[in-house]
Amino acid sequence: MLSRTEIAKPQVTKAFLSVERLTKRFTTPEGVVTALEDVSLEIPQGEFLAVIGPSGCGKSTLFNVIGGLVDGYDGKVTVTGDVVRGPHPAIGMVFQEESTFPWRTVVDNVAFPLEIAGIAKRERIERARHFIALVGLSGFERRYPAELSGGMRQRVAIARTLAFEPSILLMDEPFASLDEQTRLLLGEKVLQIQEQLRQTTLLITHNITEAVQLADRILVMTYRPGRVKRVVDIALPRPRTSDVVTSEAFGRYVAEIWNDLREEATRGMQEDEARARGGQGT
């Protein structure tokens, strides 16, 4: 079994992420929409930051900008001072949609980034098995995604991103399509992995309990245009398990964040309804 130090890329191990005064506008048939406005954040190495906000607050835009998949914005994204101008080698991305390759087995999916890096087959299979074990899918290496459940497929996607050995892990609502129980258990798995690998992690989510369960800090965003409304430090003890959701402190954090979010979510809902009514009228 390979240890983290054996497989790490030395040039990126001290990476931390910084977003400075980020503004992103989209041109739509209805006019220019400001998705993000003046968003700044900093994530120290090893921290788990969750970004939470109502639908339409620009969370996924933030994910795509940090991941280097979107350009044409004001502001700056840096990883240890290195400006992000496209997909960055220190950043690994886990997407909201099911993203495993159906034509590859579990082990070939996970070994994919290693194959791209030109690593010899035997070595990449060995490394892939390590990450498959890490997400708790040992024994399923030769299965195809179609033979797995949604939660298992998302774990394959996480293992594939981990095999890329990023210093920063970006996750865009990775458990959105899963049921609540699977979501809690997968959250626990993510916590275990983060404890082990000490990766800097940014989780985009709209789920308050998920954010409180996993994060060290939670950044609450406003409804469109997405701005930073508030940052909440989560002082729950680590290592955490899914049992943390039963604690009194957990409930207090959830209530506190919901108070912040309720106003934004209500505003989002009212604006969506107004837009729909306006659209009907035209």
Partner 1 sequence: MTMRARKARDLRPAALGLGALACALAAQEIVIRLGLVNRFIVPLPSEIGPAFVRIIVEEDVLGRFLMTAGEALAAGLLLALVGITSGIVLYRVNLLRRAYETWIAAFASAPIVLMYPLFLVIFGRNAMTIVMMGFAAALPPVILKTIEGLSATRRVHVNVGRAFKLTQRQLFTKILLPSALPTIFVGLRLGLIFALINIVGVEFLINFGGLGQLINDLAERYDLPGTYAAIGFVVLVSIVFFDVTERIERWLRPGS
Binding residues (CB under 8 A) for partner 1: these are: 67-69, 87, 89, 91-93, 95, 97-99, 101-105, 112-113, 115-116, 144-146, 160-161, 164
**Backbone phi, then psi, for 138, in 5-degree steps?**
-60, 140
Residue 106 or 257: the one with the smaller Cβ distance to partner 1 is 106
User: Which residue lies nearer to partner 1 by CB, 44 or 102?
Assistant: 102
Instruction: Write out the two tokens for 57.
Output: 């607050």
Count of CB atoms within 10 A of residue 26's CB? 13
- Nearest distance, CB of residue 232 and partner 1, angstroms: 29
Minimum CB–partner distance for residue 95 and partner 1 (Å)? 5
Beta carbons of 232 and 215 less than 8 angstroms apart: no
DSSP character for 136?
T
Query: How many residues comprise the chain?
Result: 282
Residue among 153 and 227 whose Cβ is closer to partner 1 = 153
Residue among 121 and 252 whose Cβ is closer to partner 1: 121
**Token pair belonging to 249:** 């402190």
Closest CA to 41 of 199, 251, 189, 227: 227
Assigned token pair, 253: 């954090």
As measured in angstroms, the least distance from the Cβ of 98 to partner 1 is 8
Non-local CB neighbours of 111 within 8 Å, separated by 6+ positions: 124, 125, 127, 128, 163
Shortest separation between residue 116's beta carbon and partner 1, angstroms? 6
> Residue 10 Cβ, how far from partner 1 at the closest point, in Å?
18
Shorter beta-carbon distance to partner 1: residue 94 or 208: 94
